[in-house]
Amino acid sequence: MTMLKANTGQNFYVRFENTKENLALLAYLQTLRNKNFVVFNSPAEVSESEKEHIRLNAQIEKISKLKAGWDGNVAQKANKKSIKQAEQLIAMLSENVLRYCALFPSNDSSIYLQGNFPKGGFVIYLNGETFSYVFKNENFKESAAGVELNEKNIKKIENTISKKML
Amino acid sequence: MRTDHEIDYDAEKVGKKEMLIRLLCSPLYYDEQTRQVNIDAFDLRMLGKRPETYVSIGRKSELETEEKFKKFIEKGYRIWNTKKKDKYYGYGEFQHDKALSISNKIEVNPLKDEDKSHIGLFYIKDDKEYYTGPLPKNDPEILEMLYELAKMLSDRVTKIAAD
């Protein structure tokens, strides 16, 4: 059974492949009356606000499964602390920001979150301890290093993106 | 004078208007939905115990026939890993002076013991030396430089069809 899981901070999603075994399991799950448990028949039924979180969480899952040499050469696999940072960061950002973002592995085991917005872009480098970032557009630039990953700093980043990049 | 034993100082310099190519050896170097190149594509890495001193770049003027271009892509397969051939993504093209305009740390040079099609993108550290891999991405100036290089390539990526 192949499953893709995503924890968006609000909900926990598991995506099942459309196999006979899974259909039987899903049929059983649908009989459960637990109101906290919902079965969607397709990703289209998931709310827009959650879709981007699911997409980015799927990227985290993919990156976390990479083995050393994922680039075809000597890249290190992603370190657990950077993965944790990525999960925390994605959970704190809104879908308005995430829809323009992608997560990438780095050869040195860190993770990048890169954004390509209508009016600019950014890159956030998650090294497992703190993060560094650069925001840029034609008229604006902001950068910092050694930033602590917390709600206050992420809210500040989200505000910057909303005002300068969207 | 800044020197690196891998640079061919006797060879003809790379022209400012020349078109250059960066191979993207893994699908993890490009996100199709947001159309972004992973900035890691321009980082230097550790090759075992030896740190990289340049980013491998192709010189389009030396790859103008289909045969030559195919050999260049094949060389990329050999460098990365022949078994990973099906995971190769594609390549991006850019003009030499566009890369130079991003940062005065960037320098593109011909390489010793390489055919003319293979050149190197070096990063100047100071007047004595070049950076070796990996680059210090905690430094926002380096992060910005890599971001701009990746952005330069992002709208100019060609996917290689799988065999």
Per cent of chain A over pLDDT 70 is 80
Nearest-neighbour CA in chain A from B150: distance (Å): 10
What is the structure's pLDDT at B83? 58
| Residue A46, C-beta contacts closer than 8 angstroms, at least 6 positions apart | A13, A40, A54
Let me know the angle formed at the C-alpha of B88 by B102 and B53, rounded to the nearest 5 degrees: 45
Closest CA to A151 of A6, A1, A9, A2: A9
- Per-residue tokens: B91: 């390549």
Rounded CA separation A130/A110 (Å):
11
Beta bridge partners of A120: A117
- The interface predicted TM-score of the complex, written ipTM, equals 0.90
Quick check: A4 pLDDT over 80? no
Judging contacts by C-beta atoms under 8 Å, the chain A residues touching residue B151 are 121
- Higher model confidence: residue A30 or residue B124? B124
- Per-residue tokens: A67: 């083995």
Q: What is the pLDDT of residues B21-80, one digit of tens each?
A: 999 888 899 999 999 999 999 999 887 788 899 999 999 999 888 888 888 877 665 555
Q: Kindly state the helix (H) or strand (E) to which residue A7 belongs, with its residue range.
A: strand A3-7
Nearest-neighbour CA in chain B from A55: distance (Å): 10
A62 to A68, A78, A83, A88, B44: CA distances (angstroms): 13, 10, 11, 16, 23
- Higher model confidence: residue A67 or residue A50? A67
- Secondary structure (DSSP) of B86-124: GG--EEEEEEHHHHHTT-TTEEEEEBTTS-TTEEEEEEB
Mean pLDDT for chain A?
Answer: 85
What is the structure's pLDDT at A44? 74
Closest CA to A104 of A130, A81, A78: A78
To test the contact with chain B by mutation, choose from A61, A79, A99, A112 the residue with the greatest count of B C-beta atoms within 10 A, namely A112
3-class secondary structure, A98 = helix
**Omega before B134 within 30 of 0, i.e. cis:** yes
Q: Cβ separation of A134 and B88 shorter than 8 Å?
A: no
Q: Give the predicted TM-score (pTM) of the model.
A: 0.86
Nearest to A74 among B31, B45, B138 (CB): B45
Nearest-neighbour CA in chain B from A18: distance (Å): 24
Q: Which regions of chain B does DSSP assign to beta strands (E)? A: 19-24, 30-31, 36-37, 46-47, 50-51, 55-59, 90-95, 106-110, 118-123, 157-159
